[in-house]
Amino acid sequence: MTKELNNEQIARFAKALGHPTRIAILRFLANRTTCYFGDIFEELPIAKATVSQHLKELKDAGLIQGEIEAPKVKYCINRDNWKLAKSLFVELFDDCVCKKGGCCK
Amino acid sequence: MTKELNNEQIARFAKALGHPTRIAILRFLANRTTCYFGDIFEELPIAKATVSQHLKELKDAGLIQGEIEAPKVKYCINRDNWKLAKSLFVELFDDCVCKKGGCCK
DNA sequence: AATATTGTTCGTAATATTGCGAACAATTTA
DNA sequence: TAAATTGTTCGCAATATTACGAACAATATT
């Protein structure tokens, strides 16, 4: 993976994480044994359509996945991409430590 | 820090990280011993005004800081907030591991 | 003092994001 | 088959983001 693509991938993940509601959704998903849309919606003070939209963005970024369990929809964290995201962020945070002799105080 | 404020803080950091150019800027800052605006601008294929705008967003999020060294401006990663961001992301990624018996496959 | 250098700010345009209610689709239940 | 349940999609409005050139401000240099 080139550095440019790497930057694009981490930016895509970061963008998806860039809204409090979506962070809340991810935490919620992680701490439940079931995670139907209705459970998520119930937990949040926003409209159904808006929840659906946030879920779509998380899904498009690859951070979660949805599975139809008619008539409900079950959402889960996408573990593979979650791991990938974690490693990219950790790499970024470790890479961006100012070098000795640098301009940081 | 309540969970809500925590979510807002990490979302704010994530939002600032949510653009490839800003990731590139951070990596660049981390791997230089000097980091004037001109050096950053030189490295990127975009207009001066746009670079300035991205730097402003990183600064507003607290991830970098700027210091006037007339007539230049020296930019650096804000180490304290960088550490804070790292810990918040690590905590998030560790928190959001699907529990056994959860719905993740 | 005039000119050059370095970045920021302003104004503008195009596009994206956020949020909502209403309409819709798909399945389940009565 | 009719009605209920569960979510998504559509259409809209308000706001934010991204990007640029031009104008501007501040200091340094001649």
* pLDDT at residue A104 tops 60: no
Among residues 13-52 of chain B, which lie with CB inside 8 Å of chain A?
14-20, 22-24, 26-27, 29-35
Is A21:A49 a contact under the CB 8 Å cutoff? no
A48 touches strand C (CB under 7 A): yes
Tens-level pLDDT at each residue, chain B (105 residues): 787 779 999 999 999 999 999 999 999 999 887 799 999 999 999 999 999 999 999 999 999 999 999 899 999 999 999 999 999 999 999 987 766 555 555
CA distance A19 to B8: 7
CA distance A72 to A21: 21
A15-35 tens-digit pLDDT: 999 999 999 999 999 988 779
Of the residues B96, B97, B105, the best mutation for testing chain A's interface (the one with the most A CB atoms within 10 Å of its CB) is B96
What pTM was estimated for this model as a whole? 0.94
- Which of the two residues, A100 and B56, has the higher pLDDT score? B56
What number is the average pLDDT over the span A32-60?
Answer: 96
CA distance B77 to B59: 9
A53-96 tens-digit pLDDT: 999 999 999 999 999 998 999 999 999 999 999 999 999 999 87
pLDDT at A32: 87
pLDDT at A81: 97
Q: How many CA atoms lie within 13 A of B82 on its CB side?
A: 22
What is the distance in angstroms between the Cα of A54 and the nearest Cα belonging to chain B?
13
